[in-house]
Amino acid sequence: MTINSVSLVIAGSGGAGVVTAGSLLLDAAAQAGWYALMSRSSGPQIRGGEAAAMLRFATEPIMSHDDSFHLLMAIDWDNIGRFSAEIPLVATSLIVGDPAHGPAPAALLGGTPRQAALAMTDIAGKIENGRPNMVALGAIAGLIGLPPEAMQAVVEKSLKRKGQAAIDASMAAFHAGFAAAADLPAIPKLPAVAAATEPRWSITGNEATGLGVIRGGVRFVAAYPITPATEVLEWLAPSLAKVGGMLVQAEDELASINQIIGASYGGVPAMTATSGPGLSLMIESLGLAVAAEVPLVVVDVMRVGPSTGIATKSEQSDLNIAVYGLHGDAPHIVVAANSVPDCLFTTQWAVHLAEAMQAPALVLTDQAMGQARAIVPKPAELAFIGQRLTAAAPAVEGERYKRYAMTASGVSPMAIPGTRGLTHTADGLEHNEFGTPSSQASDHQAQMDKRSRKLTQFNYGDHWADIEDSEVGAGDTAIITWGSSTGPAREALRRYAAAGGKARLISLRLIAPVQPEKMAAALQGIKRAVVVEQSHSGQFYRMLRAFYELPARTVSLHHGGPLAFGPNQILEQLNQLNAGSA
């Protein structure tokens, strides 16, 4: 079965107003028992400026946007052309605009969508304190089948402080829009559902990231603001304080990473969040955390690069720097979240991995999932808590402590400052077992082996990848992907299966260290594969080629950001692979 859903965009020059309208609609949809996903796109302006809220509603959980939108509701047309590529419209789509702002710009009409007028400004003008935004929301509700009571509940909650008059004015405008929808051309309506049977959350990827690290045990965060990671930090600052932790705003990313190294050396699990430019600045000190064996987590909410790139838009192009960016041979962990709720799972897991292996763990998320809000089934409780192997006292009284002792697992008991008899110096210089600087080949070899061994011998369980087969089986075709591209890939798999196709989705969560044996098992019987990623140079495909045995017929489907893949783009590639095999 393919997903029964409706997709729409609210756009306008109201800046945050459009996103607020989208949020109200998302909350009302949740109230109505639907599932929802809302992404936002905004121009470079700091305040105001053009913005668009992209929403998709369904009666079951959704992980991706559709290939096109059923409806574009434009409060006005200012600069909307800048988004036209992000708002694919087809012949069955409907553009609703306000005649007060003139005709729709040509940039939106390439897919020959239907057009209709809704005099939002005029209708709102007839209501005391009526706003065109609420008229638009009413019309949307009427078009997609959202019950007005759901919006009533949301508006009452959000405008509670402004008083009953404000609530009444908003709802009057909403109802006027709702009534006007009867005269608009139809788009698909979603069926009403009974009250939700399972507990659900409304959460953004960046919030889930913050919650994940706190659940994992992080209690110290140092960070420098950067789009699109700032919300992780803004959520963490008050939340950490509530559980006895703290967030420090650092002077730059060099300071962020080194502050968390200091805190973690002090025994307090620590993390920072940043985006590509900040990660670039942190790289040298990530190597220090590798050499000194200091556990920590760095979240990179990826945006379009290189350089400043497009700060507000998404791309999966920091894979190379995350995996290969460090100088020297520097074994470290790289994991990637593959959906909004998975930001919670993956960051919590990352804290667990970093602490268990006393190594830095990089978590890759991106703007698309970080700044998206989703209505999702309540995420499961996870058992991952950061647990560090610590040293309590000298094995033999007076015996000198070996911070970097050789062990079978490669992990050495770590003495936390304050522990008697175990003082030592942790060092970024190559060292011997005691931590004493050494330039001897044998010490370098032994320490390199140890730092590598602790990562390669670790039991990552089933979490290294999400592996999902279509209901009818895996067949001999696979989609291999990671991160945000997993959403549309999942939906492509469903559409493929609905048409009778069999395929397997492999979404890698553990990017490094690589898992060739597990991948070989996952690719058992697979003869064809498509590798999907949002990178101009196909970084993921090249990495797979370097480390894994891929099926003989493996094609790469990749492009740079900020446009995400639609499910049909991936489906088309699957069909082509299949046709090629006939």
Partner 1 sequence: MESCAQKKKYAAKDYKSDLKPIWCPGCGDYTVLNAITRALAELALPPEEVAVVSGIGCSSRIPAYTSVYGFHGVHGRALPVATGLKLARPDLTVLVTGGDGDGFSIGGNHFLHACRRNVDLTYIVMDNQVYGMTKGQASPTTAPDWEGSKLTPEGTGINPFQPLVVGLASGANFIARVSSSDPINMARIMVEAIQHPGFSLVQVLSPCVTFRPEQQEWRDIVRTAVVDYTDDAARAARRLMTDDGFNVGKVLYKGSRPPFRPEFENTNGSVTELEARFAL
**Positions 341 through 380 that interact with partner 1 (CB under 8 A):** 375, 378
Looking at the Cβ atoms of 312 and 447, the one nearer to partner 1 is 447
Shortest spacing between CB 157 and partner 1, in angstroms: 12
- Residues shown for the chain: 582
32 binds partner 1 (CB under 8 A): no
Task: Find the helix packing angle between 16-31 and 132-144, rounded to 10°.
Answer: 40
**Single residue of 79, 84, 121, 436 touching partner 1 by CB under 8 A:** 436
Q: Which residues of 127-157 are buried (b: 16+ CB within 10 A; e: fewer)?
A: beebbbbbbbbbbbbbbbbbeeebbbebbee
Quick one: which of 193, 392, 406, 429 contacts partner 1 (CB under 8 A)? Answer: 429
Q: Report the SS3 class of residue 360.
A: strand
User: Which residues inside 221-280 make contact with partner 1, applying CB under 8 A?
Assistant: 222, 238-239, 241-244, 246-248, 250-252, 254-268, 270
Among 63, 171, 319, 426, binds partner 1 (CB under 8 A): 426
Q: Which residues contact 380 (CB under 8 A, 6 or more apart)?
A: none
By DSSP bridging, strand 504-508 and strand 465-469 are: antiparallel
Q: What are phi and psi of 83, to 5 degrees?
A: -100, -5
With 0-12 CB in 10 A as exposed, 13-18 as middle and 19+ as buried, what is 113? buried
Segment 79 to 118, residues that bind partner 1, using CB under 8 A: none
In whole angstroms, the minimum distance from the beta carbon of 26 to partner 1 comes to 11
* Total Cβ atoms within 10 A of residue 197: 8
Q: Residue 94, CB half-sphere, CA atoms under 13 Å: how many?
A: 20
Tokens of 109: 């009409």
Whose Cβ is closer to partner 1: residue 422's or residue 519's?
422
- Of the pair 181, 279, the CB lying nearest partner 1 is at 279
CB closer to partner 1, 153 vs 310: 153
Only segment of 11-19, 304-312, 423-431, 450-458 that touches partner 1 (CB under 8 A): 423-431
Tell me whether residue 69 or residue 220 sits nearer to partner 1 (CB atom).
220
Q: Which is nearer to partner 1, 76 or 253 (CB)?
A: 253
Amino acid code (one letter) for 76? D
Least gap, CB of 194 to partner 1 (angstroms): 15
**What does the angle CA 94 – CA 98 – CA 99 come to, to the nearest 5 degrees?**
110
| Interaction residues for partner 1, span 274-293 (CB under 8 A) | 284-285, 287-288, 292
Query: Before 341, cis peptide (omega within 30)?
Result: no
Closest-CA residue to 364 (of 522, 512, 515): 512
* CA 257 to each of CA 195, 266, 327, 374: distance values in angstroms, whole numbers, following the listed order: 46, 14, 16, 30
- The least CB distance from residue 388 to partner 1, in Å, is 14
Nearer to partner 1 (CB atom), residue 189 or residue 400: 400
Toward partner 1, which CB reaches closer, 211 or 362? 211
Q: Smaller CB distance to partner 1: residue 70 or 219?
A: 219
Among 191, 328, 398, 418, binds partner 1 (CB under 8 A): 418
The CA radius of gyration of the chain, in Å to the nearest whole number, is 26
For CA atoms 101, 142, 26, 532, the dihedral sign is negative
Q: Compute the least distance from the CB of residue 260 to partner 1, in Å.
A: 6
> Which of 175, 424, 450, 558 forms a contact with partner 1 (CB under 8 A)?
424
Provide the β-strand partners of residue 304: 310
Question: Least distance in Å: CB of 150 to partner 1?
Answer: 12
Site residues (CB under 8 A) for partner 1, limited to 172-231? 196, 199-203, 207, 211, 214-215, 219-220, 222
Query: Nearest approach, Cβ of 285 to partner 1 (angstroms)?
Result: 6
Residues in touch with partner 1 (CB under 8 A)? 30-31, 196, 199-203, 207, 211, 214-215, 219-220, 222, 238-239, 241-244, 246-248, 250-252, 254-268, 270, 284-285, 287-288, 292, 375, 378, 415, 417-429, 435-437
